[in-house]
Structure 1
Amino acid sequence: MTLTLKHIVPVLNAQWKGEFGDIEIDHISIDSRSLQNGPGTLFFALSGPNNDAHNYIGELLDSGVFNFVVTHIPDEVKGQANFIIVPDVLLALQQFAAWYRDKFHFPVIGITGSNGKTIIKEWLNFLLGPDYNIIRSPKSYNSQVGVPLSVIGINEMHNLGIFEAGISTVAEMERLEPIIRPTIGILTNIGTAHDEGFANIADKIKEKLRLFKRSEVLIYQKNKTIEAFIQSGTKRFSWSFKEEEAEVLLARRTEGEQTIITIKKGAPEFEITIPFRDEASIENAAHCLMVLLFFEYDPNEIKGRMSLLYPVEMRLVVKNGINNSTLIDDSYSSDFQSLKIALDFLENQKQHKKKTLILSDIFQSGLGNEELYSRVSQLVVSNKINRVIGIGPIISAFKNKFVNCSTYETTSEFLAAFPALHFRDETILIKGARQFRFEKIVALLEEKTHETVLEINLNAVSHNLNFFKSKLRPETKMMVMVKAFGYGNGGLEIARLLEHHKVDYLGVAFADEGISLKASGISLPIMVMNPESTSFPSIIQYGLEPEIYSLKGLEAFLKVVSAEKKSAYRIHIKFDTGMHRLGFEEKQLDELIAILRNNPLVTVQSVLSHMATSDDLNHHAFALQQIALFEKMVTLFCTELGIDPILHMLNTSGISNYPEAQFDMVRLGIGLYGISNDASEQKYLENVSTLKSIISQLRTIPAGDSVGYGRRFMAQHDTKIATIPIGYADGISRHWGNGVGYITINGKRAPITGSICMDMLMADVSGISCKEGDPVVIFGLDPTVNEMSKSLKTIPYEILTSISQRVKRVFYRE
C-alpha cells in the first residue's frame, strides 16, 4: 500500500509543517538507532519518563530521515524537515495503526491473557503457515507500542493476522482493540501477572475481554467466572478436560515425554499427540487445537501438524550447558505464576539428579514480599531443588527462607563470583526478570561449540514460500529448488519444512543430493535436473525422477530402465527455447517423439524449459519469444504422443514478471531464501540467512602500522582492530576485504581492513564499543546478501552457495 504524508496528516487530525506532502512512506520507526531509518521513514518521536526522542531529531536528519510526528518542533531543527504536530505521539501512533488496520479485510486472531500468548501465537503461525500468508506480532510485541508496530507490518499479501495484546492496568485494552480488531479471539489463562494494576480479578477479566467486543468467536478454557463477563452476542467456543458443558470436551494421558489428547465431544472423536507433558504446553496446545477445529481442518491434518510443535525461544528453552549440565532458559520474565510453570517444566525435563534454580527478584505477583517468598520457598522444597541462587536486593533480603541458598545484589556480582560456583552435572533453571539481563548468565553457562554459524530462520522460509504462493493460481503446482545444499542453507532441513508445507516437487542438481534426501526420509517426489548417466542406476534405486535433455541421455536411461526391469518410469523432458545450456532443440522433436511413442519403459511426467532473462525486463521481447517457442514445441510434442504432462517454465523472477506463463507448475528457487532482484518485491520477503561469528581478539595499532598480508591496510592514526574467525575458506570472497566490505558489531558497521585470510578477517572497530567474544554479523540484515553481491559485481546465488559446509548451520523459529 502506497502511503504519503498527505494521507497521514488528516488521519491524525494534525498540524502540518513542511513542504513535501507527496513523499512516500515505507517505514515506521520509533528507534533512532535503527539502521533501517531513511528517506522513506516516518519517525514517531515518543517521549517517556527516561527518554525523549525529540532530542535525537538532529541525528536522524543526518542519517537521512526527514519526516517526523512530534508534539513540538525543537528550535535547532525548525524548517529542516517535515513535521506532523500532535498532542500525544503515542496516541497518534495508535490512531495511525487503527486506521491502517481498517484497510485490510481478512481474519485476524487476537490473543490475550496472563501466560502463553507468545507461544500460542508462534505455534499458530507454524500450524496455519502452510495455508496462509500470515502477519503476526514479532517476538512479544504486545504492548501499547508493540501492538501498533506489529499491525503496521501488514501488507497486501497477508491473508491472516495473529496478534497478541498485553496489558498491565485498566483502560489499556480500549486503545489496543481498534488496532488489532480481532475476528477470532483467544483468551489464555488469567494469572497473577500485573495484578497490582487492577482492583480485583473481575476488573482484570473485564479489561482483557474488551479486546473481543467485535470478535465473531471467542476461544477459551471453560470457566464460569470468565463467562459471567463475556458479551451476550459473542459466539463461545470453549474447551475443557472436565467441564461437560464445554463446546469441546478433551481427555488426556501421558506416554513418556508425550501427551495424547483425545477429542471426546464437539467434533469427530480422534487423538493427537504433542511432544510435551507440562501443564502450560498442554493448555497452549489445546487453544491451538481449538483454532484448527474452528477452521474445520481434517483430523489427520490436525494430528500431523500438532505432533510437530516445538519449544519457543524466549520462553522455556532447553540448551546444553557447560560441564555436562543442562540449562532451562526462561530468562524472559519473573512472576510467581510462571515460576510454578517453569518448575513443573524443570521436573519433566531434568536430566540430572541435582537441580539448581537461579532466580531474580519476582515482580507483579500481587503478593506482599513476606508471603511471596514464603510461597517461593514452598515451591522450591516441593520441587526438590538442591541449590538456589538468588539475584536482586529483595530476594537477598529473604535468603533465610531457603536452604542451600546464596544471593547476590546484582547480576554483575554473580558474574564476578561465577568461577567459584562450580556448575557441573546438574539441571539449571534460569528464571529472571528482563532488567536483570540474565542472558549474560545464559551465555556464560551455555556450552560453546561453534564460534561461526549460519543461522537459518525457518519462519522466514515459510513466509517467503507463502508470498510466492500468493502470486499463483490456485491450481498451479510448485516445485522448490533445494539444490546446492539448499542454496547454502541446508538441504535436508529446508526439505523437511517444504514437505510440511506440501509443495509438489523438490528439485536438485545431481543425483547424490536427491539420494541424501530420500535416505533421510523425504517422501516428496524429487527431480534431478542434471543427472549424469553413471548415476542412472542409483536414481532408479532411490525413486528419483531424472530430467532428460538429450537423445544420448534418453537412450542411456532407457537401457538402464530395461535392465532394472522397470516400466512407465517417470521422466521429465527439457526443451531448449533460447537458454542454450541443456535441452532438446525444435529440430530434434521428430526423433524424440519417435523414441517415446508407445514406449512402455518410461512415462513423461513433465515437460519444461528455462528462461534466460526472466529477471531483466530489458529483454522482455526475448522472454516472450521463449514462451511462444515453448508453447509451440509442447503442442507438437504432446499432440503426437497423446499425453498431458505437467508443463513448467518459470523460475523465481518468472513467477513475478510473467504470470501468464505459469502453465501447470512453477519452480521457486532463490526467492524462497529471501532474495529478489526487484527492490519493490524485496521488501515483502524476509531475511532467511544470517552469518555470524565473534570477535576473537582486539588490539590497538599505532599510526603507520599495517594489517594483514601484503600490508594492504596502513593505519593513518591509532586504530582499534578486531580479528574475526572467518575467512575465504568459509566462503567469504577476498574481494570483500581491503575496505570494500564491512561487518556489523553491536549495531554499528566496521570496515574490513586488509586482505581477508583463509580463516580470519580483520576490521576497524575504532569508535565501536565492543569486547572480545562479542557477536559479529557477516551478512543478514546489514549487510544484506544483495548489497554484498552488488559490491562484488556478482549475484546473491554465489554469496549464499559459497558458504563452506564447515560453517555450522543453526535452524530456528523466531
Structure 2
Amino acid sequence: MIKRTLNDIAEMIQIENDLSPYGKKEIQGVSINSREITPGQLFIPFKGERTDGHQYVSDAIEKGAAAAFWQEDVPNPPTHLPIIIVKDTLTALQELARAYRNQLSIKVVGITGSNGKTTTKDMMANLLALKYKVQKTEGNYNNHIGLPLTILALEERTEVAVLEMGMSGKGEIDFLTKLARPDATIITNIGESHLQDLGSREGIAEAKLEIINGLKSDGLMVYMGDEPLLRNYFDSYEGQATVKTFGRTEQNDLYPVNIQQLDNGSKFQVNASEVEFTLPILGMHNVLNALSAMIVAQHFNVSFAEMEAGLVKVRLTNMRMEILQGQNGEKIINDAYNASPTSTQASIELLANLPGYKKKILVLGDMLELGADEERFHEEIGLSICAENIDAVFTYGRLGHLIAKGAKEVLSEDRVFAFDEKAPLIEELKKHVNDETIVLVKASRGMKLEEVVEGLQ
C-alpha cells in the first residue's frame, strides 16, 4: 500500500493549505469508510447528495487515521488536525493514485468486457502468481473510485497488478486505462449489459475498446476473435501494440481442442500445446476466459506446462459458478452474481451439456439494464431452452414471466413455473429436487437470487 509522508503527498497532488506542521507525518494506505479505518491510513471523505463524509473526519482521525483530505468548498475544516485541503476529494484520490502508479516499477494487466471480467481476473492472477508477486482487484473495485483505491493498495514490491475495469457509459474505460497504463489488456467479449445507457452492441464495443487508449505502445492487446465488432476494428488497427485473439474457432491465435465437460469443471487442450489443462470451473465460456489469460501469461514468460498447475488451483469469487449442495442432496450452481442474455445463454448451454444428472432445473430471474429491447431478450432466452436437456424452468420477476412465456413454447406448461415472490418459488422448487438433480440459478445482481440458493440449503 502507499506509504508516503504528507510532504510527499504535497508533491504528488495539488493541495491548498500549508502542511508544514505535519509534513513528516506518514500515511499508510487509504480508506473512504471511517468505520473501517486502520491506524495510519489517509481518510478520504466524499461530499454526497445525502451524506457528507467530512462530518466523520474527526472521528476517523480519533480512530487512528494519520490524516484526512478536506474538500475546499466544505466550510470549517478543523485547524488542529492533519488535514489536507484539496479542490475536490474524488479528483485528489484519482490524482494521488495516478502519481503513485507512476512511481511504481510494476507491470499492469487491464481486463474489461461485458461478461467474465472477474473470472478472467482471478484466472490471470493465478497464472501470473506462478512466477511473480501479484495483486488483483478485490471485489468489484473496478470503477472511477474502486480502481484508484486498488492502485493505492498495491505494495511497492508487487511485480504485476491485475486490474478489472468496469463501466456503464462512454469515456469511463478511457479514464481507467489512462490511469492504470496497462502493459497488457483483455476484452473478454461484447454482450448486452448497459444497452440501456449505450444503445447498441456497437456502442458497447466502442466503449470497451477504449481500453486500448492507455495501453503502452509496446503492449499486448488480447480480444475475443469470434466477435465481429472487435475483429472489424482490429482488422484496420494501425497501432504498435501486439494484437492476439482467442475464441472457439480456428481463425484465432489460441482456441480449445479436445474439450471434455466434467461435473465440476473442464479438461481441454489448446492448438498451441499438447498439455492437457484441468479447469475446476464449469462452462465452455470459462474455458474461453482461461484462453485469454493464457495468452497474457505466455506474454509474461509463463509456459503452458506451468499454466497447467495454475489453472487447476483457480477459485472464483462467490456467486460465479459456485457449486453447492442443497438439503435434499441436490447440486446447486450459484451463478447469481450477474446476468445478461449472453451469459445466461452460456449458463443454459452449460447445464444442458452437463453429464451425470437425471434432472436439470433452471432458475432464472430478470436481466437488468437491457434497454428498449429487454422484453424481447427475455422471451428469446425462454425460446432458446432445449426441451430435451432441461427438465424444468422456474422464473422470478416481472421480466422472468417473459422467459417463462418463451419457455412454454418449447417445454410443456407443467414444466415451467413463474413467480413474483421467492418464498413460494423456493417451496415449489423443493418438491422437484433430489440427490440426482442439479439446479442452476442465474439473474442480475439486483434480483438477489442467492436468497433462493440459501432457501435450498
Deviation (angstroms), 1:147: 0.9
State the distance in 2 between where 1:328 and 1:116 align.
16
Query: Who is 1:273 aligned against?
Result: 277
**Cα gap change, 1:5 to 1:136, in 2 (>3 Å):** same
**Cα gap change, 1:231 to 1:313, in 2 (>3 Å):** farther
Deviation (angstroms), 1:329: 0.7
Query: Who is 1:219 aligned against?
Result: 222
State the distance in 2 between where 1:329 and 1:438 align.
9
Query: Who is 1:295 aligned against?
Result: 300
Matched residue SS, 2:17: strand
Matched residue SS, 2:364: strand
Query: Who is 2:26 aligned against?
Result: 24
State the distance in 2 between where 1:414 and 1:62 align.
44
Q: Deviations over 1:546-584 (max 9, x none)?
A: xxxxxxxxxxxxxxxxxxxxxxxxxxxxxxxxxxxxxxx
**Cα gap change, 1:249 to 1:391, in 2 (>3 Å):** closer
Matched residue SS, 1:324: coil
**Cα gap change, 1:192 to 1:322, in 2 (>3 Å):** same
Query: Who is 1:727 aligned against?
Result: none
Q: Deviations over 1:308-339 (max 9, x none)?
A: 54555331111111111111111211222211
Deviation (angstroms), 1:97: 0.7
Q: What amino acid does structure 2 have at the position aligned with 1:32?
A: S
State the distance in 1 between where 2:447 and 2:87 align.
34
Q: CA contact under 8 A between 2:364 and 2:396: conserved in structure 1?
A: yes
Q: What amino acid does structure 2 have at the position aligned with 1:339?
A: T
**Cα gap change, 1:386 to 1:282, in 2 (>3 Å):** same
Deviation (angstroms), 1:290: 1.2
Query: Who is 1:444 aligned against?
Result: 455
Aligned mate of 1:284, from 284, 289, 305:
289
Residues 1:120 and 2:123 aligned together: no
Matched residue SS, 1:323: coil
Aligned mate of 2:344, from 339, 342, 345:
339
Q: Which residues of structure 1 form unaligned runs of 5+?
A: 447-814
Residues 1:97 and 2:97 aligned together: yes
Q: CA contact under 8 A between 1:274 and 1:308: conserved in structure 2?
A: no
User: What's the TM-score once normalised by structure 1's chain length?
Assistant: 0.49
Larger radius of gyration: 1
Aligned pairs (5 A) from 1:376-415: 376-380=381-385, 385-395=390-400, 400-402=405-407, 403=413, 404-408=416-420, 413-415=421-423
Q: CA contact under 8 A between 1:318 and 1:326: conserved in structure 2?
A: yes
Q: What amino acid does structure 1 have at the position aligned with 2:127?
A: L
Q: What amino acid does structure 2 have at the position aligned with 1:120?
A: T
Query: Who is 2:81 aligned against?
Result: 81
**Cα gap change, 1:205 to 1:379, in 2 (>3 Å):** same
Deviation (angstroms), 1:81: 3.0
Q: Deviations over 1:241-285 (max 9, x none)?
A: 4354x4x35351233524422325xxxx53433346732112112
Matched residue SS, 2:324: strand
Query: Who is 2:410 aligned against?
Result: none
Structure 1 stretch 380-389 or stretch 334-343: which is displaced more?
Answer: 380-389
Structure 1 stretch 48-57 or stretch 166-175: which is displaced more?
Answer: 48-57
Q: Deviations over 1:141-192 (max 9, x none)?
A: 2122111111111122211111111111111123212322111122211111
Q: Deviations over 1:703-754 (max 9, x none)?
A: xxxxxxxxxxxxxxxxxxxxxxxxxxxxxxxxxxxxxxxxxxxxxxxxxxxx
Q: Which residues of structure 2 form unaligned runs of 5+?
A: 408-412
User: What's the TM-score once normalised by structure 2's chain length?
Assistant: 0.84
**Cα gap change, 1:395 to 1:53, in 2 (>3 Å):** farther
**Cα gap change, 1:440 to 1:61, in 2 (>3 Å):** farther
**Cα gap change, 1:341 to 1:49, in 2 (>3 Å):** farther
Deviation (angstroms), 1:303: 4.0
Matched residue SS, 1:140: coil
Q: Deviations over 1:203-235 (max 9, x none)?
A: 433332332333311122335223147452222
Q: CA contact under 8 A between 1:272 and 1:302: conserved in structure 2?
A: no
**Cα gap change, 1:340 to 1:80, in 2 (>3 Å):** farther
State the distance in 2 between where 1:76 and 1:399 align.
58
Deviation (angstroms), 1:105: 1.9
Q: CA contact under 8 A between 1:109 and 1:184: conserved in structure 2?
A: yes
Deviation (angstroms), 1:398: 7.4
State the distance in 1 between where 2:50 and 2:388 align.
40
Q: What amino acid does structure 2 have at the position aligned with 1:5?
A: L
State the distance in 2 between where 1:397 and 1:299 align.
45
Matched residue SS, 2:345: helix
Query: Who is 1:364 aligned against?
Result: 369
Aligned pairs (5 A) from 1:51-70: 51-65=51-65, 67-70=67-70
**Cα gap change, 1:371 to 1:250, in 2 (>3 Å):** closer
Matched residue SS, 1:102: helix
Matched residue SS, 1:37: coil
State the distance in 1 between where 2:319 and 2:238 align.
34
State the distance in 2 between where 1:179 and 1:393 align.
40
Query: Who is 2:445 aligned against?
Result: 434
Q: What amino acid does structure 1 have at the position aligned with 2:117?
A: K
What's the C-alpha RMSD, in Å, of the aligned pairs?
3.0
State the distance in 2 between where 1:168 and 1:357 align.
28
Query: Who is 2:13 aligned against?
Result: 12
Query: Who is 1:473 aligned against?
Result: none
Aligned length: 434
**Cα gap change, 1:383 to 1:161, in 2 (>3 Å):** farther
**Cα gap change, 1:197 to 1:47, in 2 (>3 Å):** farther
Q: What amino acid does structure 2 have at the position aligned with 1:405?
A: F
Deviation (angstroms), 1:6: 2.4
Deviation (angstroms), 1:110: 1.2
Deviation (angstroms), 1:133: 0.7
Q: CA contact under 8 A between 1:71 and 1:89: conserved in structure 2?
A: yes
Residues 1:130 and 2:160 aligned together: no
Matched residue SS, 1:6: helix
Identical positions, percent: 23
State the distance in 2 between where 1:78 and 1:351 align.
66
**Cα gap change, 1:47 to 1:344, in 2 (>3 Å):** farther
Query: Who is 1:606 aligned against?
Result: none
Q: What amino acid does structure 1 have at the position aligned with 2:448?
A: R
State the distance in 2 between where 1:231 and 1:210 align.
15
**Cα gap change, 1:393 to 1:84, in 2 (>3 Å):** farther
Query: Who is 2:191 aligned against?
Result: 191
